Amino acid sequence: MSFVIRRAVSTLVPPKVASPEGLGAAKDAVRMARIAKFYEQLPKGPAPAIQPSGLLGRYQARYMGKNSSAAPVWHAIFGIMALGYSMEYYFHLRHHKNNAH
């Protein structure tokens, strides 16, 4: 068996399990008991759903969440059109300030 294959096989087994003293009783049983007690006190089951907050959070929950739709695309199109129209209207009126007959 080559050195590379032996090295690859030896890394599959963790060192504490591979050593004979690692198979005996745990030296830090009190620590493990505290860890087990900590994990017993954790809440069980799925986490509660997070309620969206803020304008962007509510918008994402409504249009981009479980019931996603094409509404954000339409909102972007109409928003750009409204912004463009308002800019064209404003800049057009700047040229006609002093020409009121």
Residue 72 lies in domain: 61-100
Count of domains for the chain? 2
Verify that 66 and 35 share a domain, yes or no: no
Q: What is the pLDDT of residue 100?
A: 54
pTM: 0.47
How far is the C-alpha of 31 from the C-alpha of 28, rounded, in Å?
Answer: 5
* Alpha helices by DSSP H, 1-101: 3-10, 15-18, 29-41, 54-63, 71-95
How far is the C-alpha of 9 from the C-alpha of 15, rounded, in Å?
Answer: 12
CB atoms within 10 A of CB 92: 9
CB atoms within 10 A of CB 59: 15
Q: Note the pLDDT tens digit of each residue in 1-32.
A: 565 566 565 555 555 554 455 555 556 777 88
Q: Note the pLDDT tens digit of each residue in 38-94.
A: 888 888 888 888 888 999 999 998 898 888 899 999 999 999 999 999 999 888 877
- 75 located within any domain: yes
